Amino acid sequence: MTPEDRVKIKRLPTGVPGLDEILGGGLPEFSFNIIAGAPGSGKTTLAHQFMFANATPERPALYFTVLGEPGLKMLRYQQQYSFFDASKLNKAIRFVNLSQTLQDHGLAGIFKEIAKQLEGANPSIVVVDSFRTVVRNVLENEVQIQGFVQNLGLLLTSCEATTFLIGEYVDSELRDNPVFTVADGLFWLYQYVERNSVIRKLQVMKLRGQASVPGLHTFRITDAGLQAFSRTLGLSGRKHKPAGAKRLSMGIPELDEMLGGGIPEGDSLLIAGSSGTGKSLLATQFIAAGIREGQPGIVAVFEERPEEYATRADSFGLDLNTPLKDGNLKVIYLRPLDLSVDETMQEILDAIRQTGAKRLVIDSLAGFEMALAPGFRTDFRESLYRMIYSLTGIGVTILSTVEMEESFTELLFSTYSISFLTDDIIRLRYVEIDGQLRKVLMVVKMRRGPHSNDIREYEITSTGVAIGQRLVGYDHLITGIPRRVELPPTGGSL
């Protein structure tokens, strides 16, 4: 059989931002799907988004409710979502309540009524809500229930419609419930409470005919309904850009020189240092240098508000207000405390797409971690790895800052054991010299080339970071408590 001979399966948009990508392009037309999850996990809303995105008056959606949420109540709450289009009601989308049928005629009556409605309406979408509750509550024997499930599954499969059963299943039912065998797609929605935060995740446990993205994906329910965030950020299929020879300026010529000509484009640079050492200022100078060179930038800040960020830059003579107005710079402020990395990433990616950004600053990783829901913090390193790998793969150069606890006995290069995530590391630290607290910086790591080995003193001036000369005449500089050493005489008269 040639590829041309194969049946073409149309993929329908789910109406849920981010979900089509997770599904591998959308939901297969005419598939029979199960949406499972605990109460309040978003099952009904997911089905509604799909209906509103696809149903037409010619090929409507039929939504059967049996023992679940009463129809009027469902409409009362679902119309609060922005995707809800009242003009589609009773035309493109029809709700049918079967609770009386169940009471009067049992499962056989339900089956008969659904079959009758399908025949009459010629729907393109069929949803049977609260299906699990029906099966749990009817006083019929196990064989009859299984027979009903099987027949309904077959009916829905054969009706030339994309169909859904919605139910409050538990994980253990996966093993012995035949309906899961019949289904083409199985979507499980989870919600957990982690300390004070709620985390929602979804998993595509099964989807016939196409490659979905495996694993648990974060989703959020907002006024617009569900929004899903793929673990791979939609970048998994993209070709990684080969590392180029181009170097990006940090906006400080002496620092560019120490870096061997600047940061290699598409690298991830970490600036580590304790409080007040100028990490954020270096990051701002990096962004401002990019703007001057026509490279749009994104700054993700977690510890100060966008307007404060621009004002602070202004005090160093760095104009960020103009690029902010022009759209060449976007400052993203994220601090809801229950974010997932994927969600944050989605926001950053959207901003990159909007601005065509080449430079990204994450200020700081500690703030980023704090903004995440506690449950996501355990996966922070893994998520960070995915994020950095994905973004540098599309040619974005990333500068992250990380706060370091100052030690005067050793030199730590970075916390979180994240140095393996970064291509380049600049370390800033305090040293005590002649009764003064002075600042030094050093390039610790450059993955793609040689760099300066100097430890140079620097100052924070009104125009930014000013880098001085290599500190000579001392040893143990990296401990923070250097010792003066006698320098060999450089010359003199005999």
Provide the β-strand partners of residue 204.
Answer: 187
Which is nearer to another protein, 85 or 326 (by Cβ)? 85
Q: How far is the CB of 91 from another protein (least distance, A)?
A: 8
Which is nearer to another protein, 62 or 179 (by Cβ)? 62
- For residue 235 the two structure tokens come to 């970048």
Which is nearer to another protein, 66 or 465 (by Cβ)? 66
Which is nearer to another protein, 9 or 96 (by Cβ)? 96
Q: How many CB atoms lie within 10 A of CB 34?
A: 26
For residue 113, count CB atoms less than 10 angstroms from its CB and return exposed for 0-12, middle for 13-18, buried for 19 or more: middle
Q: How far is the CB of 44 from another protein (least distance, A)?
A: 15
Listed residue (54, 100, 116, 44) closest to 76, CA to CA: 44
Q: How many CB atoms lie within 10 A of CB 182?
A: 17
- For residue 428 the two structure tokens come to 């800033």
Q: How far is the CB of 2 from another protein (least distance, A)?
A: 48
Which is nearer to another protein, 67 or 331 (by Cβ)? 67
Listed residue (220, 216, 192, 218) closest to 204, CA to CA: 216
CA 325 – CA 321 distance, rounded (Å):
6
Q: How far is the CB of 13 from another protein (least distance, A)?
A: 25
Distances (CA, A) of 343 to 20, 176, 272, 338: 16, 35, 25, 10
Q: How many CB atoms lie within 10 A of CB 77?
A: 12
Which spans of this chain sit near another protein (rule: CB under 8 A)? 65, 70-73, 75-76, 79, 86-87, 89-90, 94-100
Which is nearer to another protein, 112 or 241 (by Cβ)? 112
Q: How far is the CB of 53 from another protein (least distance, A)?
A: 19
Q: How far is the CB of 111 from another protein (least distance, A)?
A: 18
Q: How many CB atoms lie within 10 A of CB 437?
A: 10
Q: How far is the CB of 48 from another protein (least distance, A)?
A: 14
| 193, 187 Cβ separation under 8 angstroms | no
- R_g over Cα of the chain: 29
Q: What residue has token string 């009758």?
A: 116
Which is nearer to another protein, 94 or 359 (by Cβ)? 94
| 344, 352 Cβ separation under 8 angstroms | no
Q: How far is the CB of 114 from another protein (least distance, A)?
A: 13
CA 429 – CA 405 distance, rounded (Å):
10
Give one DSSP letter per residue of 402-423, joined into a string: EE----SS-----STT-GGG-S
CA 9 – CA 28 distance, rounded (Å):
6
Q: How far is the CB of 92 from another protein (least distance, A)?
A: 12
CA 216 – CA 229 distance, rounded (Å):
10
Q: How far is the CB of 38 from another protein (least distance, A)?
A: 24
Which is nearer to another protein, 77 or 192 (by Cβ)? 77
Q: How far is the CB of 134 from another protein (least distance, A)?
A: 13
- For residue 414 the two structure tokens come to 């970075």
Which is nearer to another protein, 95 or 389 (by Cβ)? 95
Which is nearer to another protein, 96 or 174 (by Cβ)? 96
SS3 328: coil
Q: How far is the CB of 103 from another protein (least distance, A)?
A: 8
Q: How many CB atoms lie within 10 A of CB 298?
A: 26
* Buried/exposed code over 219-246 (b: 16+ C-beta within 10 A; e: otherwise): bbbeeebbbbbbbbbbbeeeeeeeeeee
Which is nearer to another protein, 117 or 151 (by Cβ)? 117
Which is nearer to another protein, 70 or 356 (by Cβ)? 70
CA 215 – CA 186 distance, rounded (Å):
13
Backbone angles phi, psi at 205, to 5 degrees: -80, -20
